[in-house]
Amino acid sequence: MNKRLLLLSNSTNPGELYLGWPAKHIKDFLGEKIKKVLFIPYAGVTITLDDYFHAVSTQFEALGYKMDSAHNMANPQKVLSEYDAITVGGGNTFQLIRLLEDKGLIPAIQNAVLNGMPYIGWSAGSNIASPTIKTTNDMPIVEPASFNAFNFIPFQINPHYTEATLPNHGGESRDVRINEFVTVNQSTNVVCLPEGSLLRYENEQIFFIGKGPCKVFRYAQPIKTFKDGDDLSWLLDEGSQIS
């Protein structure tokens, strides 16, 4: 298998252009041979899918890539092979996985990516590269048939990771929530991506790139932190202990 994945924590940093910070990483990842990209906008909820597609396609076309959107197609799985890459945007992860299930796109995208089609995701689009969506930050506004996701990587991603807590707020912190997950999923690593960071996977290697630190959680092990440029390929061994 020759999987190529670019998994972003977020699309846009405050005060910057939409898809501004990752633009250079997207261009470097896709290169010059990629021409046509299929966008999956289904995570969008409070934005219309037309508006979402317009925002994303404007930026991708500025980088030199033609983009079409799955929501404008009757049977997007049937034309998937006509595209050179897949991009899955952020929003609500439960809505995203529900619509991917309804439209029969999960096995089609899995097959395409496992056979070398480049995949770019951010936020919810990165979370679903994991085995499940159980480490999403989103409210379950709809009920999918399953929490199972694409399973491109043998670990979970928590996008938009932050250590911040609100003063005088009694709710659980992100660390508490992730510790709940690893307590009941004891053989699974969780990789926490702060804003402005990503994982790049190709040639059977995976690297953390961007603002850090990147924290990895696993049951009954000390939390390990990683910085820009660190090799996280050890995570690709399913069930691997924190190195």
Instruction: Report, as residue numbers or ranges, the catalytic residues.
Output: 123, 138, 160
Contact (CB, 8 A) for 132 and 149: yes
Pairwise CA distance, residues 208 & 85, whole Å: 21
Q: CA 53, CA 71: separation in Å to the nearest integer? A: 9
Rg (CA), the chain: 17
Reduced to 3 states, what is the DSSP secondary structure of residue 8? strand
208 touches 227 (CB < 8 A): yes
Rounded distance between C-alpha atoms, residue 128 and residue 77, angstroms: 17
What is d(CA 66, CA 143) in angstroms, rounded to the nearest whole number?
A: 33
